[in-house]
Amino acid sequence: MREFKSLAEFSLQLVEASAKESLALHLGLDAVAAHVQKKAKDEIGHYQQAVGHFPAWEELAESTKADRLTQGYTENDPGLRSGEMRNSVERQVDGHEALIGSNDQDLVWFELGTEKQPPRPVLGTAVEYSHDYIRRTLGGAAVAGMLGEASIPAQLSYDHDI
């Protein structure tokens, strides 16, 4: 056990430990945000099953399939045409807060649906599919930050190193 020669030395140790924990959590959160961002992008163009409270994607309308073919796209890859909408999914991590989303209005309509188009969510479902990864990564980051080391002991059952 470490002994401290003064209250100031102990205080400095606490500040250092807090900084390490904060950095480890930030890095873990960035890894989680990158994972969810990739998952959301990967879902576009592929029919998705229901997950959580998000519905399964309905089949594209025959008129939509015909329109896609007329414009030179594949017939049945929902949401994927030029790739612009998919590529608009971005992430931003600031401290202990992550934002994953898009400023593309088409993705908003795709996600939530419209009067003529059923919802085909990708952002919420990407989080739903990632619960285990999020738990393991953030849990591993928290433990790594507390221990002050990058390798998590195997008995803690985290299989990600930060």
Q: H-helix or E-strand containing 104?
A: none
pLDDT digits over 32-88, tens only? 999 999 999 999 999 999 999 999 999 999 999 999 999 999 999 999 999 999 999
pLDDT digits over 110-136, tens only? 999 999 999 999 999 999 999 999 999
Q: What are phi and psi of 76, to 5 degrees?
A: -135, 50
**Start-to-end C-alpha separation, the chain:** 25
Q: Which two tokens stand for residue 96?
A: 């202990």
**17, burial (CB in 10 Å: exposed 0-12, middle 13-18, buried 19+):** middle
Integer Cα distance of 68 and 59 in angstroms: 14
In the chain, what are the domain boundaries?
27-129
Q: DSSP states of 118-161 as a string? A: ----SHHHHHHHTHHHHHHHHHHHHHHHHHTSSSPPGGG-----
- pTM for this structure? 0.83
